[in-house]
Amino acid sequence: MSNLRLGVNIDHIATLRQARYSTMLDTPNCEPDVVAAAGLCERVGAQGITAHLRADRRHIQDGDIRRLRENIITKLNLEMGNTPEILGIALQILPEDVCLVPENRREITTEGGLDAVRNFRQLEPTIRRLQSAGIRVSLFIEPSRDQIDASKKLEVEMVELHTGAFANAQGKAQDAEVTRLGVAAVHAHKAGLQVNAGHGINYTNLAKILQIPHLAELNIGHSIVSRAMYTGLENAVREMIELMSEYQG
C-alpha cells in the first residue's frame, strides 16, 4: 500500500457557503458545513485537512478554523500568509502543520510559490515562533534549487512544491514540468526536507504526479470538491486515495 498521504483542501466548501451566507453565518440554514465536510473526508481515509485562512477571508473564516481544530481527528494543515494577524491566530489554534503561502488580493486562488530567497528575513521570525509552539512548518515554493536551499537554511521541516505550472501545461511542456518537479523533489529530499506537492492536481494529471520521487503528501481541493458534485464527497475522496495508492515513491 502507498505511503503517499492525502490532505483534502476544503476551501471551496467554504466558497460555496460564502456565495449565499457570507453575512449570515450564524443562521441555522447556513450550508455547506466545512466541519461536516472534513469529517466525511476523514471517514474514508484522508490523512489531513487543509484550510487557507486568507487575510481577506474570502472563504474560510476564523470560526471555521477553530471548529476544525476542535473536531477533526487526523491533522490540521493551516495555509496562511506571513501576516501578524494570521500568525496570532495560528499560535492560538495550534494546528499540527502550517504552510506559508503568498497572497495577492486580486488572485482567484494562490498563484505561484512563495519567494523564500527574497523574503528570507521576513519569514525567519515567523517560522521560529511557529516552531517554538510545536507547529511543523512548510513553505509553498516553486520547484527550484534556490528556493529549496533557502527553505533548508530557514530550517523548515517541509516544502510543498507548487504544481501549478505542471497543471497548466500540456504535452511535452507538461512532461518537462514533471522532470523539473522530480529534480526538485530529489534535491529537497537530499536536504532532509519532507516533500509535499499541490495546486491544480486532479484525477487526470495525477498519474504523472505519481512519477515524482520522494513525495510524502499531496494537498488537493478544487478537483475533489468538483468531482463531489457528481459522485458525493466521500466517493470523490475515496477515488483519489485509490488512485494515489499506486505511488511507488
Q: Which of 12, 52, 59, 162 is catalytic?
A: 52
Cα 134 from Cα 112, distance rounded (Å):
27
Say if residues 47 and 74 touch (Cβ distance below 8 Å).
yes
List the catalytic residue out of 12, 59, 162, 199.
Answer: 199
Do the beta carbons of residue 195 and residue 189 sit within 8 Å?
A: yes
In whole angstroms, give the CA distance from residue 191 to residue 23: 46
121 grid coordinates: 528575513
Closest C-alpha among 12, 8, 65, 70 to residue 41: 8
- In the annotation, is 70 catalytic? no
Rounded Cα distance between 103 and 84, Å, is 14
Give catalytic status of residue 52 as yes or no. yes
| Cα distance between residue 170 and residue 179, in whole Å | 14
Residues 6+ positions from 167 with CB-CB distance below 8 Å: 199, 200, 201, 202, 205
Cβ count within 10 A of residue 181: 24
Let me know: does 48 contact 7? Beta carbons within 8 Å: yes
Catalytic-labelled residue, pool 79, 103, 142, 217: 79
Amino acid occupying residue 189: H
Q: Rounded CA gap, 4 and 217, in Å?
A: 6
Catalytic residue positions, numbered:
52, 79, 199
